[in-house]
Amino acid sequence: MNELKLSIENINPAVLWGPNNDHFEIIKKQYPKLKIVARGSEVKVLGDEQELLVFSEKFGYLLQHVEKYDNLNITDIERILGSKVSLAPVNDTPADKSTTGEVIVFGHNGIMVKARTANQRRMVDSILKNDVLFAIGPAGTGKTYTAVALAVRALKNKEIKRIILTRPAVEAGENLGFLPGDLKEKIDPYLRPLYDALDDMIPPEKLKTYLENRTIEIAPLAFMRGRTLDNCFVILDEAQNATDMQLKMFLTRMGPTAKFIVTGDVTQIDLPKKQQSGLHTALRILTDIKGIDIIYLSGEDVVRHKLVKRILEAYGDIQ
């Protein structure tokens, strides 16, 4: 009798095995000739060599499905394990084709993150063709959320190995003073919007693991100095609060196989009055460089409460 060991270390076991291990029982019934034992992050399977080969392939597709969608039901199990032919890898499914305007990434608890406006769809299409993308627009246009979704999709599809999210640690018109705690506790309030987006897209335990092993890194912009960021997806949020030197420093961290998205709102600059926003300079001098795209989002892209658009109009942020 042959033995096969499969790792489910990066998979949410609650989703894979289902409530009361219902999914596990269905999987065992699909392969009555095999003895399947699950312990912790490992699945051990005993049986005939040919049966093990078939099971290994189909179970692999099952794991891909759970990893990508963070969701699994009985129909999915029967479709994947019961298929008589090899299934296409998950990252070849139509949902990945940005041009369809469909789901960018399946998030936590079945949340479907989609490009909901024309300019958000332009962001999805643009990052396939360009390595640097500027997404500029007022609050509520989904520029940061869409950028994080694109990064998470690239990670799930194994197109990159890491996600790095950064923003300038600049106070928004408030003097926060001395913050207690360690360095992480001091800077986390500035980075909370990035955590909020990730919370929608990655299960809590998996996100915790990603943060601990630095698969996902969230840090202030100043921490980027001196680094080369390669084989990763990097997002600079709130770029209007970066100076000329900071933005130049950030953009020149780019390694050969990296993707960069810069988001900002030129109407909400929190820098001291004597400091110029580096975003204005970048948008002016980088416009015609091949491989860099600039997308301007507007009031038509506001996806928060309907009053947000009217508030922005009243303040003159959008016309």
Annotate 157-204 with DSSP letters as a single string.
TTS-SEEEEEE----SS----PPPS-HHHHHHHHHHHHHHHHHHHS-H
Q: What confidence tens digit (pLDDT) does each residue in 240-276 have?
A: 999 999 999 999 999 999 999 999 999 888 888 888 8
The Cα–Cα gap between 38 and 6 comes to: 9
**Beta-strand relationship, 35-39 and 2-7:** unpaired
For residue 252, what is the domain's CATH number?
3.40.50.300
In the predicted model, what is the mean pLDDT of the chain? 83
d(CA 143, CA 40): 39
Strand-pairing partners, residue 216, are 163
- State the helix-helix crossing angle for 183-201 and 204-212, rounded to 10 degrees: 140
CA–CA separation, 30 and 82 (whole Å) = 7
Domain housing 53: 2-91
Domain co-membership, 86 together with 106:
no
Q: Are residues 170 and 297 in the same domain?
A: yes
Residue 38 sits in a domain whose CATH number is: 3.30.1370.10
Reference 137, options 248, 289, 239; nearest CA is 239
pLDDT at position 173 over 70:
no
* Same structural domain, 99 and 80: no
Number of domains in the chain: 2
125 and 232 both lie in a single domain:
yes
132 and 278, same domain (yes or no):
yes
Residues 164 and 16 in one domain: no
157 and 290 in one domain? Answer: yes
**Is residue 73 domain-shared with residue 99, that is, in the same domain?**
no
Residues 80 and 108 placed together within one structural domain of the fold: no
Do 145 and 193 reside in the same domain of the chain?
A: yes
| pLDDT digit string, tens, across residues 140-166 | 899 999 999 999 999 988 899 999 999
Residue type for position 223: F
Last residue of one domain, picked from the residues 37, 57, 91: 91
Question: Same domain, yes or no, for 18 and 72?
Answer: yes
Please determine, for residue 134, whether its predicted confidence score (pLDDT) is greater than 70: yes
pTM of the model: 0.68
Local confidence band at 302 (pLDDT 50, 70, 90 cut-offs):
confident
Task: Report the 10 Å Cβ neighbour count for 229.
Answer: 20
